[in-house]
Amino acid sequence: MLLSLSRGKEDFLRKTVESFANTRGLLTLFESLFGKGASRESSFLGTEEMGNVSTRAPMQAELTKYDIGAVRMHNGSLQHLVWLGLQWNSVSVLPPVRQLLKQLFHLPHETSRLETDAPESLCLLDLEVFLLGMVFTCNLELQEKLNTRDETHQPPFLPLLLCK
């Protein structure tokens, strides 16, 4: 990534190293990534000694909280919602679709107007079914692609920003 950013700029790498390869630069980078109130002890960016950092996988509730934040950050982009659904599906957990959709749309949970197809009859259950259908369809397409290629060293899907 740094090499692609440095194209056409002779001293880009030198300036980057000078800016971030010191205590102040690491603190600035840490604060821009995690905010000023984040605990520095839990990240190798926030500590001087890299061998003293404990590793802990995030709990399910933490992942849900991060996903809700990511959905807000991307304004409910369908592409991001489906990608998050694929991530949750890859660990065999039903994604918190209803929680994600409640953050985006202020709709009733279900509708009482089944006889009409007017936009006013749209409810959260409709959106939830649509999104789960999208995740299911994308997962089937992904499985089909995985079955047709021989590259077992590649992950099934990359982080969304790397896929673009």
Domain ranges of the chain: 2-52, 60-163
For residue 31, the SS3 value is helix
What's the whole-number mean pLDDT along residues 1-5? 57
Q: Which two tokens stand for residue 93?
A: 């957990």
22 vs 31: CA distance, rounded Å: 14
H helices, E strands: number in the chain: 8, 0
In whole numbers, what is the pLDDT of the chain averaged over residues?
76
Higher-confidence residue of 92 and 48: namely 92
Q: Which two tokens stand for residue 26?
A: 């690491």
Least confident of 52-56, 120-124, 157-161: 52-56
For residue 21, the SS3 value is coil
Q: What is the pTM of this model?
A: 0.56
Least confident of 39-48, 60-69, 88-97, 104-113: 39-48
